[in-house]
Amino acid sequence: MENKMILLDTSILIDYSRKTDKENARMFMLKSQEHTFVISSITEYEIYSGVSASKYGFWEELLEDVEIIAFDKVIARAAVIINNLLKAKSKQIDIADLFIAATAVSNNLPFATLNRKHFERIYFLDIMD
């Protein structure tokens, strides 16, 4: 299998952290397919803003080798375009999800999420099965 870089949604990381048997987590399956993971700086914010002191070390270790893509002008402009398209259809999504999706789109990355319902509204977002 080709080593493909994918952007992980926060939901994938949270699922992995909560599973007792990590082999049942989507993230484990993706890792076993030799994918390389990147996350948005928005995902990093979501993780660390909700982490307890006892879980901080777990997240530091898990994210140690994961590239974090900073929110920048290109991503912000992509988010505006996506938001305008969704707004025209009265199908807007949470701003954090919007910024994460814009990160995937502007960096031309496939996207892994457990929250397909919101992200499928963005027809040009490459959501992994």
Rg (CA), the chain: 15
In the three-class reduction of DSSP (H, G, I as helix; E, B as strand; rest coil), residue 112 is classed as strand
Could you tell me the pTM of the whole model?
0.93
pLDDT of 68 higher than 80: yes
Mean pLDDT of 50-58: 93
Identity of the highest mean pLDDT range in 3-12, 38-47, 48-57: 38-47
Beta strands in 45-95 (DSSP E): 67-69
Tell me the pLDDT band of 125, cut-offs 50, 70 and 90.
Answer: very high
Q: What is the pLDDT of residues 97-114, one digit of tens each?
A: 999 999 999 999 999 999
Fold classification of 5-119 is Rossmann fold (3.40.50)
